[in-house]
């Protein structure tokens, strides 16, 4: 999954002038640049009740249609000079559940990627895999195709939480899969979630302790975000009781305690908190996340080429989002794209300056060099910064701003303090627009 908190799908569909400029700029000849590729695979064996992403239940015909259009999109980009100039040092295949695709589908996508783009020799090739579509044969295939990092959706080990989430794999099954992944020699990342219905502090502590026993290279820890999910719809329609989902959501105080428990326990077990959600053993933090969240200087000038439905991309000066897979009337996300030069773009927006992006995302990445924010913004926001320091939410070591432990509980709120009016409106839309799955 690729996230850009500065861009959400609710407002601003692409306007014609921007689209024309975007397509023209793809033909610019530029000196060699660096890049990352993200590919979204929207299929899952079944839908988890908490999941808010662009995903649909798998169908063989749908896979064929999807792969066909994805190859067409790859072909469109691969003919552009700007893309040809980029050396891609990381590929992330996310979803959905990429391991749901057939062997042929996976092979075609990865081979076409290598044939169409300049993927560097030591590139990180990361694939998200879900337990419901797991097989050892698929691991062998991914290894054979050069994938070196797998992100595995564990979510919770608690049987009650798993049942309500429609996660069907037992703890023994998970253990077997994790051991396999390690034996194949992949770096393994776990996705974990807290704040799920019925998941109290005790369950969360046990989830964290069980997770660290497996010594994953890194963990993505998400607080449940109740939009677009089946569970939330049931809950809202008060069908919760009838459907056996009559379990309270943890309250805000519990969520704060769970957040604090997360960074305290993971850091005590040798993990470094790299962003609000990412914890990694030293040297094991995902380069894709690092660049995507502006963690380092590469972020200020790089190409983030997102392909597949609902992907986000960043090709300066634009940030774009592709159409969703389940668009009304047709599932072919590339259809009706003649007005956007054949590209399946749904939303296109000019990038904000790297300095403002760095300031807004600073809380998300925990620590930020002041030089990357620049004198002008430091001056403009000086009273807000002083106020946050006085409230013991952020610290300043001379060269960097850092979050305090108290600040780590209020990351989005601190970020909000630095947003301009448009970002604030978008952010509020995301937070307050709970919709049906």
Query: Which chain residues interact with ligand SF4 by CB under 6 A?
Result: 44, 47-48, 51, 53, 55, 95-97, 130, 132, 153
Tell me which residue has its CB nearest to ligand SAM: 153
Distance CA 291, CA 300 (A): 9
Nearest to ligand SF4 of 211, 359 (CB atom) = 211
Helix or strand holding residue 87 (H, E)? strand 86-95
Residue 381 partner contact from ligand SAM, ligand SF4, none using kind-dependent CB cut-offs of 5 to 8 Å: none
Residue 74 partner contact from ligand SF4, ligand SAM, none using kind-dependent CB cut-offs of 5 to 8 Å: none
Nearest to ligand SF4 of 322, 340 (CB atom) = 322
- Closest contact distance (angstroms) between CB of 155 and ligand SF4 is 7
Angle between helices 60-78 and 103-116 (to 10 degrees): 0
Nearest to ligand SAM of 123, 133 (CB atom) = 133
Cis (ω within 30 of 0) for the bond into 96?
yes
- Closest contact distance (angstroms) between CB of 306 and ligand SAM is 14
Q: What is the DSSP string of 18-38?
A: HHHHHHHHTT---S-EEEEEE
Residue 370: both structure tokens together: 């002041």
Strand ranges in 102-183 using DSSP code E only, listed in sequence order: 119-130, 149-155
Reduce the DSSP state of residue 157 to 3 states and report it: coil
Nearest to ligand SAM of 155, 332 (CB atom) = 155
Contact set with ligand SAM (CB under 6 A): 1, 50-53, 95-97, 128, 130, 153, 155, 191, 193, 222, 224-225, 229
Nearest to ligand SF4 of 77, 134 (CB atom) = 134
Residue 229 partner contact from ligand SF4, ligand SAM, none using kind-dependent CB cut-offs of 5 to 8 Å: ligand SAM
Distance CA 284, CA 232 (A): 34
- Closest contact distance (angstroms) between CB of 313 and ligand SF4 is 20
Contact criterion met (CB below 8 Å) for 430 and 10: yes
Residue 47 partner contact from ligand SF4, ligand SAM, none using kind-dependent CB cut-offs of 5 to 8 Å: ligand SF4
- Residues 6 or more apart whose CB falls under 8 angstroms from that of 205 comprise 261, 265
Nearest to ligand SAM of 231, 418 (CB atom) = 231
């Amino acid at each position: 999954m690729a996230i850009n908190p500065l861009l959400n799908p609710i407002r601003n569909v692409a306007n014609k002038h921007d689209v024309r400029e975007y397509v023209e700029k793809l033909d610019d000849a530029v000196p060699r640049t660096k890049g990352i590729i993200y590919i979204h695979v929207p299929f899952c064996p079944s839908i988890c009740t908490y999941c808010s992403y662009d995903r649909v239940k798998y169908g063989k015909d749908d896979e064929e249609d999807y792969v066909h259009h994805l190859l067409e999109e790859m072909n469109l980009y691969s003919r552009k000079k700007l893309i040809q100039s980029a050396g891609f040092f990381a590929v992330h295949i996310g979803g959905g559940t990429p391991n749901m695709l057939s062997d042929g589908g996976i092979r075609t996508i990865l081979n076409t990627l290598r044939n169409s783009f300049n993927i560097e020799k030591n590139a990180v090739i990361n694939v998200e895999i879900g337990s419901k579509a797991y097989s050892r044969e698929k691991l062998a295939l991914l290894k054979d195709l050069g994938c070196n990092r797998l992100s595995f959706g564990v979510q919770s080990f608690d049987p009650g939480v798993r049942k309500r989430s429609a996660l069907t794999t037992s703890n023994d099954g998970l253990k077997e899969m994790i051991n396999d992944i390690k034996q194949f020699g992949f770096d393994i990342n776990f996705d974990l979630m807290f704040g799920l219905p019925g998941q109290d502090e005790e369950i969360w502590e046990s989830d964290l302790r069980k997770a660290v026993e497996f010594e994953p290279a890194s963990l993505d820890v998400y607080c449940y975000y109740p939009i677009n999910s089946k569970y939330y719809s049931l809950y809202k329609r008060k069908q919760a009781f009838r459907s056996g989902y009559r379990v309270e959501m943890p309250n805000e105080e519990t969520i704060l305690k769970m957040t604090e428990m997360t960074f305290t326990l993971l850091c005590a077990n040798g993990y470094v908190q790299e962003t609000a959600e990412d914890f990694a053993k030293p040297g094991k933090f995902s380069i894709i996340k690092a660049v995507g969240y502006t963690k380092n200087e590469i972020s200020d000038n790089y190409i983030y080429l997102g392909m597949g439905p609902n992907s986000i991309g960043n090709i300066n000066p634009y940030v774009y989002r592709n159409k969703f897979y389940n668009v009304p009337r047709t599932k072919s996300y590339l259809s009706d794209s003649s007005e956007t030069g054949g590209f399946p773009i749904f939303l296109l927006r000019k990038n904000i300056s790297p300095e403002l992006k760095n300031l807004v995302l600073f809380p998300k990445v925990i620590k930020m060099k002041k030089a990357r924010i620049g004198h002008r913004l430091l001056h403009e926001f000086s009273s807000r910064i002083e106020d946050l320091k006085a409230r013991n939410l952020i610290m300043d070591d001379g060269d960097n701003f850092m979050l305090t432990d108290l600040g780590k509980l209020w990351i989005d709120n601190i970020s909000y303090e630095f947003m301009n009016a448009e970002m604030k409106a978008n952010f509020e839309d995301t937070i307050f627009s709970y919709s049906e799955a």
